[in-house]
Amino acid sequence: MEEKAIVNDVLSSTKSCLKDFESAITETANMELRQTLQNLRNSSESFQYELFKLAESKGYYVPAQNATVQEITTVRDEVTNQ
């Protein structure tokens, strides 16, 4: 398997794990367990960002263009006027 595929696979898996952490955190009443899950989530988010930066620097991932001011305004207005 080539490096690009491995990096993209790990990025995808990490994003999935982050969603699972969020779900578990919101459903956990035990504060010690909740804090442990939050710490794991934070570490995973940091790992995901570092891997994303690596993928971006190697050309494995090309982010979408930045939104224009008008696009941001339109989305903000739609969200706040619901």
pLDDT of residue 71: 94
Token duo for residue 28: 């956990």
Instruction: Return d(Cα 68, Cα 76) in angstroms, integer.
Output: 12
- For residue 1, pLDDT over 80 is answered with no
pTM recorded for the entire structure: 0.73
For the chain, give the mean pLDDT: 93
Rounded-to-integer distance, Cα 48 and Cα 73, Å? 29
Inform me whether the pLDDT recorded for 82 exceeds 90.
Answer: no
